[in-house]
Amino acid sequence: MEELFWSPIKLSISIALISGLIVLCSGIIIARLMVVKNFKGKIIVETVLMLPIVLPPTVIGFFLIVIFGNNGPIGRLILALFDQSLMFTWGAAVIASTVVAFPLMYQTAKAGFHSIDKAIEEASAVDGATGVQTFFFISIPLALKTIIAGFVLSFARALGEFGATLMFAGIIPGKTLTLPTGIYVAIDSGNMTLAWAWVITTVIISFIMLLITYLIK
């Protein structure tokens, strides 16, 4: 019973942490590029990047199956290289959580970079710093609070992902059964005690995550 309770919690935290780290790195880089670069079609690219925040989870799950499924372009490549389907695996849950969490990290990091006084970055260039040095030693430290807030929000969003994970990763106990899907299964099977335990755990973790975002402001 104890293992049944803790397994989805440990799995959800692991998936959310890995997804959070992925969107942290990708979100910072892409947000920075979108702030400093101007090009044709920029608004289209930004709209695509933000789409997961407004699309229904089932639509996201559908696209993930089309792209990463056994008949999808990337799915076929993975199957050929590793003789292993990506669907209904732990990795599928990570991908689903990453996709839905990315817009939060991207938008928050972008807001942080926009808030930086450009004169400070220009001064570092005058002093001989390269663009990369300015980015790592000036821009990121100045936007650090918003970046941390973005990571926390992304982690919380990945932790609560349900729809896309259900479609793409499934609900395999000990393998892809996360907290949200576990609650769904527990309710469906009439195990309200277990459902309540997981609900309370999710609320506590989410509360702590949101509290952290308020404390770092």
pLDDT band at 216 (very low <50, low <70, confident <90, very high): confident
Is the torsion defined by CA of 61, 76, 49, 210 positive or negative?
Answer: positive
Q: Which residue shows structure tokens 């003789």? A: 83
Looking at the chain, which runs of residues are DSSP E strands?
Answer: none
For residue 111, what are the domain limits?
A: 2-215
Mean pLDDT of 138-149: 92
DSSP state of 38: -
Higher per-residue pLDDT: 133 or 92: 92
Q: Say if residues 170 and 86 touch (Cβ distance below 8 Å).
A: no
With H, G, I as helix, E, B as strand and everything else as coil, classify residue 171.
coil
> Residue 88 — left, alpha, or beta (φ > 0 → left; ψ -120 to 50 → alpha)?
left
* Token reading at 173: 């106990």
Q: What is the DSSP string of 95-118?
A: HHHHHHHHHHHHHHHHHHHHTS-H
Q: Say if residues 168 and 61 touch (Cβ distance below 8 Å).
A: yes
pLDDT at 21 over 80: yes
pTM of the model: 0.90
pLDDT band at 134 (very low <50, low <70, confident <90, very high): confident
| pLDDT reported for residue 124 | 83
Query: Alpha-carbon distance 214 to 189, whole Å?
Result: 37
pLDDT band at 152 (very low <50, low <70, confident <90, very high): very high
pLDDT band at 129 (very low <50, low <70, confident <90, very high): confident
Size (the chain), residues = 217
Mean pLDDT of 47-64: 94
Mean pLDDT of 133-143: 90
Instruction: Give the number of domains in the chain.
Output: 1
CATH number at residue 82: 1.10.3720.10
| pLDDT reported for residue 168 | 93
| pLDDT reported for residue 4 | 81
Of 167, 154, 57, 158, the C-alpha closest to 107 is 154
Query: Alpha-carbon distance 170 to 213, whole Å?
Result: 31
